[in-house]
Structure 1
Amino acid sequence: MKPVGEITRGTTNPNRLRRVDNFIAYRCGELLRNAAQPMVIDLGYGATPVTAVELRGRLAASVRRDVAVVGLEIDPVRVEAAQPYADPPGLEFRRGGFELAGLSPVVVRAFNVLRQYDESEVTAAWQAMTATGAVLIEGTCDELGRIATWAVVSAGRPSTLTFSARLSDLDHPATFAERLPKALIHHNVPGHPIHDLLLALGRAWETEATPFGPRQRWLATARRLRDEGLPVLDGPHRWRLGEISLPWPG
């Protein structure tokens, strides 16, 4: 099966995807625990396989010991370089793209991949990655994983958008604008829902300045958004981690 997609830059760092990995354990943990074959695909793991190794370790520790992670890359050189880290059946590396190498995972993580594509290609990629029923977590983050956003996509359609930050480094929520998923980043202009959402997030943050530190400020920001009528999901147990999730703004 010919891989679908293009070779991306492949930039990666240890712990870069810790935030989204923890979200996957929370959001998709029950799906994996109930699955006959608890497979997760790390699509486009990059120049080194460190994020796939970390994903396998985190899910095995927090969700299910026999979870299987398959790292997929289009570049055969990267696939070959990753083989010393493989530990089948728990961790494998194969050549593949949006067609998922013919596999049928429960969850797909595709981070910092579609950011390098044209927006017109996003919908087809979403559809391909969820065609067998997988839940897709697709997003982008900065080089150290301090600022991130991601979508939860099922059957080719996004359902939620999550903002996540290491709160000690968060100066202002406007920073998220640079790390929006590809489907949204060019729509952060007046008249579009994502623009209105970022404005509301910024206003709430500015209003809730507190002497008790950034975590309490973030919690107050989430509560203010909810009080203003925005359908903020989850609750303080996730907000404390630096997350705010909302229905997809589209």
Structure 2
Amino acid sequence: MKSWLICIDDTDDIGTKGTGEIAQEIAEILSDGEHESSSFITRHQLYVHPDIPYTSHNSAMCFQLQTYKSLETIKQLTVAHLLEQSAAASDPGLAILDCDSEFDREALIRFGLEAKEQVKTKQDAYDLALRLGICLSEHGGTGQGVIGALAGIGLRLYGRDGRVKGQVDLGQELYEEGVELTVKEALTRSGLDIVVDLSGQQLKITEVLHLTRKVKAVYCQHQFALLVYRHEGRWCNALKRQLKEY
């Protein structure tokens, strides 16, 4: 079984199925075999600039896959779903990285970080993918999504970027007044790896959390983390503005 990172970008349009939802569907398709699995999907925010076309936020979606499938099969299944589900006006891009291969990790991370702060071109992306042996392809429109797809993989490798798609599933509804769980209970219910505060400090499993409304997770320290902050003497799940740091 091999490990892969798969990232897609620019598959949607206003009023259509979001890129995150499409990524989730692809992850489920690719991990359908016995013992195969996919990780949480991370959303990576890229540079917002007038020279960069995007639908609403300019973000890429990435996940890790454990599978017996070959690169050819992974690409075939993913492309088929992209062509079927991507919006007509979108510019889909796909990047697939064999995590067990030899590649310049730092160069890929650097591309991802730069894509958060400056305008990159398709040629930049293709040149780097060719040099590193990464499968990079476009599937409609201008194909501009290849930039974000490659950058998303670099940011996932960086290990300190990205918000986890969707809300954290704690197995019960959270009411306005909230619920209290220990760190251990929250991790067991959610499948997350750690709970960290805004400074990145990991909480002990015995700490008590006060969780309300939409509970979100981030990718931090190369792990899926519940982000919390101290408020009125209690550990509370992070607010939207705090999550934007990721």
Q: Do they superpose with TM above 0.5?
A: no
> TM-score w.r.t. structure 2 length?
0.34
> TM-score w.r.t. structure 1 length?
0.33
Structure 1 or 2: more helix by fraction: 1
